[in-house]
């Protein structure tokens, strides 16, 4: 019995690890060719290794800003989207005066020691134009001070993780699948009562979608914000306010309510750091989403995702990847294998960053055109394939969006079929469908009906997965194997051409991006031989121990 099978066995017979409850049962229904599956995983490893070698030779401005934030630097000149965060000002000044190729930590802590300053006082000197950074002849004292600050930050992050474990034990952890609902008005103070109402209605995970365009901001807005467009800005204060609100309603409803936001874009590591410090539970975090859908530079995205995932790993945060988005721009039948290939790549990058399998909320979606004959059979095949390939992962299943129309009755039926598919194939994070998805920003009544639809199907089909078994030589298995074989074919091409060239060739989501194009390349820095990041020193041992 493998370690993964032992984990499944513990889950099935009521001995899940703390904070990792699961409904996952026996999943080997398709009798997949294990040799083909193993080849796909090995190809993913080979695809990722050259990218990881590049990652290990570089840092970014966002990583260095995240180091400062975790070491206690907060605050800004100004508020909201007009803010100039201290983290940006300090990192930019160090880069200008000393360079960031050896990291931001030693120049900052050297100044703190020389002049007896706190890290916030260093930022104030930067604002006044009086800060003078250097690389000391003997950096050992500054290094020790930075390491001590990193250990203190690590203790705070682990403390927030223990809080989550204690609350889930005391309040109770909802059974899976967890019902996941998006709430975002643009105003955090309006989001809070909506999020609490959603929890009372039965939502297990509240996701506060980000304001449109925040992923392209190369700074994190400051404070509580009230004017986001089609979403609410991700800020440390907004995280704190929503976390407190969900803890309050959790006490009322008698279960722990999880909070999700988005660690993506040009500030991916910083947002990951803020999430860890404010006890968020899940973060949208994908290795290619920013490249494909936001035109962020490839190097910047891959380098930032590594450090952000190291933070998530330490904080016990579940990541949600973005493969569901691929099928909004590409055909869900012809391109199903691109989803699986990306999931395998996301899995490899995640494990190499220190994430455990239970933290890999790999994404996929119910997006086949409903006019296609046997649409549901194909959806079942895709969903069951993913379930069996990643038996320990808390998969995030996305509802139909691309083919939703103004016919709300058909939309509600499609959502019910999606929820049923999620239950039958034992998806663990069910991002519930809304009958008006893709038409307008859903009204509160739409959300309420969506929760009702999902709860009905989860309850009415509660144990059907234990009884459902596709024929050994049936169409479902045939379709799943075809997708898996096409996945291997794609990964072979990517391994031969390289990840950057594969993205340039539009192998994923039918979208081409240039390796030297996109936003944020100027924030990528090749590291010197004596580069120092105190958190890498602290966490790297655990990351390297991953399989």
Q: What is the DSSP letter of 358?
A: G
Q: Is 299 annotated as catalytic?
A: no
Count Cβ atoms within 10 A of the Cβ of residue 329 and give its class: 0-12 exposed, 13-18 middle, 19 or more buried.
middle
135-150 b/e with 16+ CB inside 10 Å = b?
bbeebeebbebbbebb
The one-character DSSP state at 210 is: P
Q: Choose, from 110, 281, 286, 324, the residue flagged as catalytic.
A: 324
DSSP-derived secondary structure letter, 353: T
> Strand, coil or helix: what is 279?
coil
CA nearest to 416, candidates 380, 473, 455, 359? 455
Question: Is residue 165 flagged as an active site residue?
Answer: no
Give Cα separations from 326 to 53, 164, 480, 511 (angstroms). 26, 32, 18, 9
Residues 6+ apart with CB under 8 A from 4: 357, 391, 392
Residue 48 DSSP code: H
Two tokens at 3?
Answer: 């370690």
Looking only at the bridges linking them, the beta strands covering 178-182 and 429-431 are: parallel
Q: How many CB atoms lie within 10 A of CB 224?
A: 18
Is the CB of residue 486 less than 8 Å from the CB of residue 18? Answer: no
Inter-residue contact 419 to 379 (CB < 8 Å): no
Neighbours of 529 (CB within 10 A): 6
In degrees and rounded to multiples of 5, residue 260 shows phi and psi of -125, 145
Of 180, 191, 396, 531, which is the active-site residue?
A: 396
Counting Cα atoms < 13 Å in the Cβ hemisphere of 204 gives: 19
Q: Can you tell me which residue has the tokens 């952890």?
A: 173
Return the number of other C-beta atoms located less than 10 Å from residue 371's C-beta: 7
- The verdict on whether 516 is a catalytic residue reads no
Q: In this structure, what token pair is assigned to residue 310?
A: 């190291």
Q: Facing residues of 181 across strands?
A: 206
Active site residues: 289, 324, 396
């Amino acid at each position: 019995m493998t370690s993964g099978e032992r984990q499944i066995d513990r889950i099935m017979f009521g001995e899940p690890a703390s904070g990792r409850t699961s409904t996952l049962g026996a999943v080997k229904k398709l009798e997949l060719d294990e040799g083909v599956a193993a080849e796909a995983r090995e190809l993913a490893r080979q695809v990722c290794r050259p990218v990881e070698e590049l990652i290990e030779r570089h840092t970014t401005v966002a990583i260095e800003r995240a180091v400062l934030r975790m070491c206690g630097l907060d605050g800004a000149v100004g508020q909201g989207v007009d803010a100039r965060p201290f983290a940006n000002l300090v990192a930019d000044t160090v880069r200008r005066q000393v360079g960031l190729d050896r990291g931001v930590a030693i120049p900052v802590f050297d100044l703190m020691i020389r002049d007896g300053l706190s890290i916030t006082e260093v930022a104030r000197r930067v604002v006044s134009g009086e800060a003078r950074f250097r690389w000391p002849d003997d950096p050992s004292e500054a290094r020790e001070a930075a390491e001590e600050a990193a250990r203190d930050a690590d203790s705070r992050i682990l403390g927030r993780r223990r809080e989550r474990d204690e609350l889930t034990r005391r309040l109770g952890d909802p059974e899976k699948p967890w019902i996941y609902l998006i709430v975002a008005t643009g105003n955090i103070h309006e989001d809070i009562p909506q999020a609490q109402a959603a929890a009372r209605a039965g939502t297990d995970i509240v996701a506060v979608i980000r304001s449109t365009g925040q992923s392209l901001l190369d700074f994190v807005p400051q404070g509580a914000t009230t004017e986001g467009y089609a979403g609410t800005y991700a800020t440390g204060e907004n995280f704190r306010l929503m976390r407190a609100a969900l803890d309050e309603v959790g006490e009322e409803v008698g279960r722990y309510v999880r909070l999700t936001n988005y660690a993506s874009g040009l500030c991916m590591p910083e947002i990951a750091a803020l999430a860890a410090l404010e006890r968020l539970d899940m973060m949208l975090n994908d290795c290619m989403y920013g490249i494909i859908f936001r035109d962020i530079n490839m190097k910047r995205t891959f380098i930032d995702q590594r450090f952000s995932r190291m933070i998530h790993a330490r904080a016990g945060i579940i990541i949600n990847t973005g493969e569901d988005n691929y099928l909004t721009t590409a055909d869900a039948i012809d391109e199903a294998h691109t989803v699986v290939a990306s999931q395998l790549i996301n899995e490899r990058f995640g494990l190499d960053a220190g994430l455990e399998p239970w933290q890999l909320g790999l994404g996929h979606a119910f997006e086949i055109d409903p006019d296609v004959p046997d649409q549901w059979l194909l959806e079942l095949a895709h969903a069951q394939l993913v379930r069996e390939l990643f038996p320990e992962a808390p998969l995030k299943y996305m509802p139909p969006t691309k083919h939703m129309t103004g016919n709300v009755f058909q939309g509600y039926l499609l959502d019910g079929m999606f929820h049923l598919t999620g239950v039958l194939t034992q998806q663990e994070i069910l991002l519930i469908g809304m009958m008006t998805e893709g038409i307008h920003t859903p009204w509160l009544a739409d959300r309420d009906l969506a929760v009702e639809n999902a709860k009905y199907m989860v309850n009415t089909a509660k144990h059907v997965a234990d009884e459902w078994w596709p024929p050994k030589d049936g169409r479902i298995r045939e379709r799943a194997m075809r997708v898996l074989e096409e996945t291997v074919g794609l990964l072979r091409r990517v391994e031969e051409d390289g990840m950057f060239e594969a993205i340039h060739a539009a192998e994923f989501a039918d979208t081409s991006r240039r390796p030297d194009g996109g936003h944020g390349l100027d924030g990528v820095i090749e590291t010197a031989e004596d580069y120092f990041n105190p958190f890498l020193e602290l966490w790297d041992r655990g990351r390297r121990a991953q399989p």
